């Protein structure tokens, strides 16, 4: 008798305190927790879209008053994790049946391409893969010497020509060298600037047409802020397969990565954390979303 009474009583109480989640509840919790990103890193456009997604999921849901904040936070976490879950690329597996496996790295000057390529070479060699590098940035002064210095330090064969020579031809040479010497991977550095952006696009298209790379990687500097959207749109013209992010040792807030994942949904290959050759991580969305979890 008492048990039935108690159950009825609790039912009534929970109904009384239950209410619908309102848009204001969602905005309040969302912006309270993401203000830090608002001022720095995530594109406003993307934040607004995420907020809208949350509202579509939660608005009008009836729940006990005390549970509202928890449900909103859990939904935010779930949403962020879904956004960051763009997949990664298992490079070694992908390259199992292709020798050489050719990777071309694109990206603006200063994005960290040359440094990243040396790290990727080291990463592959640690896993018993042989590597050669193509110096296909034949435009920027000192770029070949910079790459040569890295290659000497990590003992990797560099295929190069003179400044001003055709980058597609340099990569073609490197592929031939790799074929003859049974090398697993060719990593190609490219120019991040030409006389005009149109020249740059044409040059990249030619590299792709002539060499048919197995993977086209766009290298992005995590310090560039909202310009990331324009950069990605620019390089998409050559058909980018995946992203790598550099300089996360300076800015690891990850807002940029959230923006790129939300808008472009391309896999992320590596995250790069400094000048040291070993400061490279394979992207893992579960680990990475940890920094956003409420």
Ligand X SMILES: Nc1nc2c(ncn2[C@@H]2O[C@H](COP(=O)(O)OP(=O)(O)O)[C@@H](O)[C@H]2O)c(=O)[nH]1
Residues lying near Mg ion in the complex (CB under 5 A) are found at: 113-114, 143
Report what 250 binds from ligand X, Mg ion, none; CB cut-off 5-8 Å by kind.
ligand X
Interface residue list for ligand X (CB under 6 A)? 107, 109-115, 192, 246-247, 249-250, 272-275
Q: How far is the CB of 112 from Mg ion (least distance, A)?
A: 8
Report what 211 binds from Mg ion, ligand X, none; CB cut-off 5-8 Å by kind.
none
Q: How far is the CB of 99 from ligand X (least distance, A)?
A: 26
Report what 225 binds from Mg ion, ligand X, none; CB cut-off 5-8 Å by kind.
none
User: Closer CB to ligand X, residue 107 or residue 213?
Assistant: 107
C-beta nearest to Mg ion: residue:
114
Please state, in angstroms and rounded to a whole number, the distance separating the CA atoms of residues 251 and 121: 24
Q: How far is the CB of 22 from ligand X (least distance, A)?
A: 43
User: Closer CB to Mg ion, residue 99 or residue 193?
Assistant: 193
Q: How far is the CB of 123 from Mg ion (least distance, A)?
A: 18
With residue 245 as reference, give the H or E element that holds it. strand 242-246
Contact 229, 263 (CB under 8 A): yes
The angle subtended at Cα 221 by Cα 190 and Cα 119, nearest 5°, is 60
Report what 216 binds from ligand X, Mg ion, none; CB cut-off 5-8 Å by kind.
none
Q: How far is the CB of 271 from Mg ion (least distance, A)?
A: 19
β-sheet with 185-190: strand ranges across: 157-159, 131-136, 185-190, 101-106, 215-221, 242-246, 268-272, 280-282
Contact 263, 50 (CB under 8 A): no
Report what 107 binds from Mg ion, ligand X, none; CB cut-off 5-8 Å by kind.
ligand X
Task: Please spell the DSSP secondary structure of 142-160, one letter per residue.
Answer: THHHHHHHHHHHHT-EEE-
Report what 246 binds from ligand X, Mg ion, none; CB cut-off 5-8 Å by kind.
ligand X
In terms of Cβ atoms closer than 10 Å to its own Cβ (0-12, 13-18, 19+), residue 95 is buried
User: Closer CB to ligand X, residue 115 or residue 231?
Assistant: 115
Rounded alpha-carbon distances, angstroms, from residue 68 to 24, 52, 294: 12, 17, 14
Q: How far is the CB of 121 from Mg ion (least distance, A)?
A: 14
Contact 111, 156 (CB under 8 A): no
The angle subtended at Cα 228 by Cα 224 and Cα 229, nearest 5°, is 155
User: Closer CB to ligand X, residue 13 or residue 250?
Assistant: 250
């Amino acid at each position: 008798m008492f048990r039935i009474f108690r159950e009825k009583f609790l039912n009534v109480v929970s109904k009384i305190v239950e209410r619908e989640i309102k848009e204001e509840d969602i905005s309040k919790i969302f912006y309270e927790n993401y203000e830090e990103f608002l001022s720095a890193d995530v594109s406003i456009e993307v934040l607004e879209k995420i907020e809208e997604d949350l509202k579509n999921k939660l608005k009008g849901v009836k729940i006990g008053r005390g549970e509202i904040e928890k449900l909103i936070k859990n939904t935010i976490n779930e949403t962020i994790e879904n956004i960051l879950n763009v997949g990664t690329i298992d490079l070694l597996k992908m390259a199992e049946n292709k020798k050489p496996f050719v990777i071309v790295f694109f990206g603006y000057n200063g994005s960290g391409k040359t440094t990243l390529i040396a790290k990727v070479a080291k990463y592959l060699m640690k896993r018993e893969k042989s590597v050669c590098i193509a110096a296909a940035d034949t435009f920027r002064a000192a770029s070949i010497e910079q790459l040569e210095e890295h290659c000497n330090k990590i003992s990797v064969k560099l295929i190069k020509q003179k400044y001003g020579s055709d980058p597609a031809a340099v990569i073609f040479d490197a592929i031939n060298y790799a074929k003859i010497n049974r090398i697993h991977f060719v990593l190609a550095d490219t120019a991040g600037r030409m006389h005009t952006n149109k020249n740059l696009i044409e040059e990249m298209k030619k590299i792709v047409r002539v060499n048919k790379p197995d993977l086209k990687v766009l290298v992005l500097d995590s310090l560039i802020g909202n310009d990331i959207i324009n950069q990605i749109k620019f390089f998409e013209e050559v058909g980018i397969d995946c992203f790598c992010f550099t300089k996360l040792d300076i800015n690891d807030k990850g807002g940029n990565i959230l923006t790129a994942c939300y808008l472009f949904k391309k896999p992320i290959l590596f995250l790069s954390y400094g000048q040291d050759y070993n400061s490279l991580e394979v992207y893992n969305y579960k680990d990475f979303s940890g920094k956003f979890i409420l």
